[in-house]
Amino acid sequence: MSREPKYFDRSFKFSLLHPRLWPSWLGILLLLIFGLMPAFIRDPIARQLAHLVKRISKKPIRVARANLTTCFPEKSADEIEELINENVENFVMILLAQAELVLKGRNNLRRRVNLMGFEHVQAARDSGKPVIFIMPHVWGIEYAGLRLNLELPMVTMAKAHKNELFNWFNNRMRSSLGGHVYMREAGIRALLSELKNDNSFFYLPDEDLGRDKSVFAPFLGTTKATLPVVGRLAQAGNAAVMPVKIGYNRQTRQFDLTVMPELPADTMQGKENEALALNKAVEQVILAYPEQYMWFLRVLKTRPEGEPDIYA
C-alpha cells in the first residue's frame, strides 16, 4: 500500500489540452476575463446573469427551497423566495470574481478581504497551537482560506471534480500560497499529521455523510446528522477550534472575514456534546449571512428514524 501523500498534483499536464476539454477552457477563459474586471463593473453583470442561472437551475433551486423551508419554518413563502433570489445572486457574483485569486497578488487579497478577530488565532499560535477553523459550505470559502493562509500555514482537503481541467484550476488556486490540497481519501490521519507539523486547516462539519457514525443534534429549525470527529482530532493534534464567518458586502465590494473565539474544549467532549457544539457553530456562521450559504447542497439528506425525505 502506497504511503505517498494523497494531495492533488498542481502541475500542468499536456492531457489538459485535449479537444474534449476545449469547452472547459472557454469557461475558464471567461472566468479569467471576469476576474480581471473591477468589482463595480462585474457585480451588476453578475446580478443580471443570476436571472438566467435561476431559470436553468431548477433542481438545485428545489433543494434550496426544501432546505430553507425546513430550517426556517417561521418564514413565509415570499421570504423563502427572496432568500433564494439573494442566494443565487451572491453565488454568481462570487463565482465570477474567484479567478482574481489566481490572477492578482497578495495585496489585492488583503484589500478585498477585511480580516477581523485574528487576535484569537494569534493567542492560539502564541501558545504553540495550530487551528482547526470551523466553516460550513459558504460561497466565500475560497477567499477565507487564502486570506488566512496569508497569515499562517494552512492545508485543506477537497473532493475531486469530475472535470480534470476544473480540478487542476481549482486546486491550483487553493494551493497558490503553498498549502497542499488533500484528496478526500487521504482521511483524518493526513490532517492529524498536518496539525503535528503546525499546519492549520478548515473543517466543514455541515456535510451530511450518512447515518453511520453520525449523531443527530438540533440545527436551526430542525435536526441534523453530524459527524463528531473534530474534538478528538483537536485533542490529538493539540489544536484550537475556531468558527469562521465570511460574507460579501455589496456596498463596499469587499468580504468581511471574522474569526470567532475558540470553542471551549469541554463542549467537544463526547459525541453528542460535540455534535451539538458543531451545529451551534455552523448556525452562527450561517445566520450571519444566510443568503450566502450553499443551500443547494443536500445537507439534511439523513433524517431521524420515521421522518420523511425532505427532498422527495
Q: Which residues contact 78 (CB under 8 A, 6 or more apart)?
A: none
Q: Residue 307 falls within a domain, yes or no?
A: no
Considering only CA atoms, give the Rg of the chain: 19
Q: Residue 231 falls within a domain, yes or no?
A: yes
Q: Residue 312 falls within a domain, yes or no?
A: no
pLDDT tens, N- to C-terminus, the chain (312 residues): 445 568 787 888 999 999 999 999 999 999 999 999 999 999 999 999 999 999 999 999 999 999 999 999 999 999 999 999 999 999 999 999 999 999 998 999 999 999 999 999 999 999 999 999 999 999 999 999 999 999 999 998 888 888 899 989 988 888 888 888 888 777 788 888 899 999 999 999 999 988 888 999 999 999 999 999 999 999 999 999 999 999 999 999 999 999 999 999 899 888 999 999 999 999 999 999 999 999 999 999 999 998 999 998
What domain count does the chain have? 1
164-174 and 22-36 helices cross at what angle (nearest 10)?
Answer: 30
Measured torsion, CA atoms of residues 288, 109, 262, 214, in degrees rounded to the nearest 10: 70
Q: Residue 229 falls within a domain, yes or no?
A: yes
Q: Which residues contact 231 (CB under 8 A, 6 or more apart)?
A: 241, 265, 268, 269, 274
Neighbours of 208 (CB within 10 A): 17
Q: Which domain holds residue 102?
A: 14-292
Q: Residue 241 falls within a domain, yes or no?
A: yes
Q: Residue 279 falls within a domain, yes or no?
A: yes
Q: Residue 65 falls within a domain, yes or no?
A: yes
Q: Residue 299 falls within a domain, yes or no?
A: no
